[in-house]
Amino acid sequence: MEQKKINTTLEEDQLMVERLFSKEALANYDKSASSVPASYFETFPEKLQQRIANNKPQLFFLTSFGKMAIAAAFLLVVASTFIFLNSNTDKNLELSTITINDLTNDEIEAYVDANEWMAEIDWQSEAFKPDTEIEQFYKDSID
């Protein structure tokens, strides 16, 4: 039954609708859809070409400008990263080449003087923690 319904010809399909609504009503419906302002179709291709022409250079300009902007930003990021990494690498290299023998006694003493009070604070803060076992703490600090 369903199969019979589905395998219908165009005429049968159209007839099914015309039984519900009159053929005239359907024709009028289509006439309404077909109505256009005077000379619409005569002017449409020209109007369309103008729209395409107006869009084209703008799109081209925007596209190329966009590409250039993206490329410039990308190059800037790459260059900045390269410079940043290089400068950091140089500093590391510089630091790694300095050994204790390169430092003068005055420099070492100045460093110890400057950091001694910090070491003291660290020691005291650890020592006065409520769960610190003092014997273990001394042992750890000597080790």
Partner 1 sequence: MQSDQELILQFQKSIQREETFTQLVKKHQAKVYHQIKRMVNDHDDADDIAQMVWIKIWNKLDGFKMESEFNTWLFRIAYNETLNFIAKQKRQGSNTSSTDILDYENTPSHTDAPKSSEIQIKLDQGIKQLPEKQQFVFMLRYFEELNYEKIASITGTTVGGAKANYHQAIKKLEEFLKKS
Judged by the rule CB under 8 A, the positions of this chain that interact with partner 1 are 5-6, 10, 13-14, 16-17, 20-22, 24-26, 28-37, 40-41, 44-45, 47-49, 51-52, 55
The residue (of 50 and 81) whose beta carbon lies closer to partner 1 is 50
The residue (of 14 and 88) whose beta carbon lies closer to partner 1 is 14
The residue (of 40 and 138) whose beta carbon lies closer to partner 1 is 40
CB of 51 to partner 1, least distance (A): 6
* Residue 77 token pair: 């990021």
